[in-house]
Amino acid sequence: MKIVGTVGSSTYEAIKRDVIFGKLSPGTKLKLGHLKERYQASLSTLRETLSRLASEGFVAAEQQRGFFVTPVSKEDLIEIANLRVLLECHALELSISQGDADWEGNLVAAHHKLRRMEDKMISGDLSDKETWKRYDWEFHLALIQACNSQNLLSLHAVLFDKYLRYQMLVLTYRGKEAVDEHQQIFEAALERNKDIARAMLKKHIVKGLEHTLAVME
Amino acid sequence: MKIVGTVGSSTYEAIKRDVIFGKLSPGTKLKLGHLKERYQASLSTLRETLSRLASEGFVAAEQQRGFFVTPVSKEDLIEIANLRVLLECHALELSISQGDADWEGNLVAAHHKLRRMEDKMISGDLSDKETWKRYDWEFHLALIQACNSQNLLSLHAVLFDKYLRYQMLVLTYRGKEAVDEHQQIFEAALERNKDIARAMLKKHIVKGLEHTLAVME
DNA sequence: CGCAAGATTTTTTTCGAAATATATGACATT
DNA sequence: AATGTCATATATTTCGAAAAAAATCTTGCG
């Protein structure tokens, strides 16, 4: 039994994915007529979708001039990385203070899945970037899951996706370094060592930022 | 020459205002048919508007069950206040470090306007809460305007409005205490004293939170 | 009386087309 | 050649109605 959502929700997912994973390049004009064919939805449904994406910041809307894929810039990337540090480190600290056994269990599971995937990537199999990034996402989410603030989690989700778009844009893999950072954050979190965990997470994000900035030349 | 925006943008403003200022109570079912009459817009336009408000968190959307005004709760208010402390204090610090003469000028102006309004309120004239809150908004915005992060400013804007809804909900005025806090934050910011400014802003937000929580019984 | 199956009404979701605005190109004027 | 105007084409915005889903009401049965 397959549960299909509304046309609206699936076009939302599709366009968002295409923006994040670069199938729709930054700055591209999103003409409704074209999108209609590409995503098989009506103009109204598309406008609804694009409005949502615009208020999350993946799309830019100009009054009576239509929609565009939000442009990228170094400044924007830096802002997003800094906000991720601020929010994610804060959430991590809360999570470490408040997390229970369920939190630990999910974290262990998420780290395990990510680790397996990363081992595969390191040994040269770069075939499934999307799954890899999904596991990365799930690991970072598992870390802060116990922060006990829905508002914080949802702000973080959007930020993470924006950051992810930049990573997908440069398309290069940071390799063993990032794997080690994940490992260190993971261990510090399980040991409930807030300061180390926080410092490692910050380092992880900042290193990722520098790497991406460097590739953007 | 009067510049009128699109129907969409004005219904967006109208509904958002009605949610924030309590004309649409928390939890209310937003039936499209009713909204159509109330706001004089078509179903598609309304859906577009409600989708935007949903992704900002002022409205809750349930798949195939329509839209509701986002409910309120103590937990949600506490989350929002804590996030405001985190983001606004951070932005204030950046602003104080980087603000130039323009920043100072705008800040002085914004504080002056707010101060005049507050004096009027203290002397018993509670007739124009909406203008008062607009000046409050503009003062807090002026404080962090020079933080040099559009992303941070737009996250803050949504957060501030959500906090504002709770303040409007309880409808009581904190009086001279809040006025003094504004004054102290203002002076510390102009003197470029980050630590004091930060501490006062945090106190201001936390006191406001406690006051609102107390009234929510 | 309670409860469930089916029919009716209401509401949400989706679409296509009309109305409005912007962009493009042809043509005349300086 | 540059600029401005007007007609044409293209795109966005808005609407009302059809299709799909959910909620409500009715009826029949144990």
d(CA A70, CA B194) in angstroms, rounded, equals: 34
| Chain C bases near protein Cβ (<7 Å) | 11-17, 21-23
Residues A155-161: what's their mean pLDDT? 97
The token pair at B164 is: 């504002």
Say yes or no for a CB contact (<8 Å) between A83 and B51.
Answer: no
Would you call A9 an interface residue with chain B, using a CB distance cutoff of 8 Å? yes
Q: Are B90 and B143 in contact (CB under 8 A)?
A: no
CA nearest to B167, candidates B201, B194, B133: B133
Q: For residue A3, is pLDDT > 60?
A: no
Residues A124-136: what's their mean pLDDT? 84
Footprint of strand C on the protein (CB under 7 A): A 6-8, 40-45, 64-65; B 29-33, 43-44, 47, 63-67
Confidence grade of residue B129 (pLDDT, cut at 50, 70, 90): confident
Q: For residue B127, is pLDDT > 80?
A: no
Q: For residue B4, is pLDDT > 80?
A: no
B78 touches strand D (CB under 7 A): no
CA of A20 to C1' of C18 (A): 35
Q: If you average pLDDT over every residue of chain B, what do you get?
A: 93
Residue A37: half-sphere exposure toward Cβ, Cα within 13 Å: 3
Q: In what order do the strands lie in the sheet with B66-69?
A: B29-30, B66-69, B59-62
Residue B105's contacts (CB-CB under 8 Å, 6 or more residues apart) are none
Amino acid A2: pLDDT: 46
* Residue, of B132 and B186, whose pLDDT is higher: B186
Amino acid A1: pLDDT: 42
Residues B20-39: what's their mean pLDDT? 94
Distance from CA of A112 to the nearest CA of B (A): 31
Amino acid A4: pLDDT: 64
The CA-based angle B211-B110-B123, given to 5 degrees, is 55
One-letter-per-residue 3-state SS of chain B: CCCCCCHHHHHHHHHHHHHHCCCCCCCCEECHHHHHHHHCCCHHHHHHHHHHHHHHCCEEEECCCEEEECCCCHHHHHHHHHHHHHHHHHHHHHHHHHCCHHHHHHHHHHHHHHHHHHHHHHCCCCCCHHHHHHHHHHHHHHHHHHHCCHHHHHHHHHHHHHHHHHHHHHCCCCCHHHHHHHHHHHHHHHCCCHHHHHHHHHHHHHHHHHHHHHHCC
Confidence grade of residue B182 (pLDDT, cut at 50, 70, 90): very high
Amino acid B126: pLDDT: 73
How far is residue B112 CA from its own chain's centroid?
19
The token pair at A144 is: 């802060």
Confidence grade of residue B1 (pLDDT, cut at 50, 70, 90): very low
Q: For residue B2, is pLDDT > 50?
A: no
Q: Report the predicted TM-score, pTM, of the whole model to 2 decimal places.
A: 0.93
Maximum pairwise Cα distance, chain A: 54
pLDDT digits (tens, 9 = 90+) for B114-125: 999 998 888 877
Would you call B86 an interface residue with chain A, using a CB distance cutoff of 8 Å? yes
CA distances from residue B90 to A157, B149, B207 in whole angstroms, order as listed? 20, 11, 18
d(CA B167, CA B182) in angstroms, rounded, equals: 16
Q: If you average pLDDT over every residue of chain A, what do you get?
A: 93
A124 touches strand D (CB under 7 A): no
* Residue, of B36 and A217, whose pLDDT is higher: B36
Least confidently predicted of B159-168, B173-182, B192-201: B173-182
Residues B44-70: what's their mean pLDDT? 96
Least confidently predicted of A168-182, B82-96, B174-188: A168-182
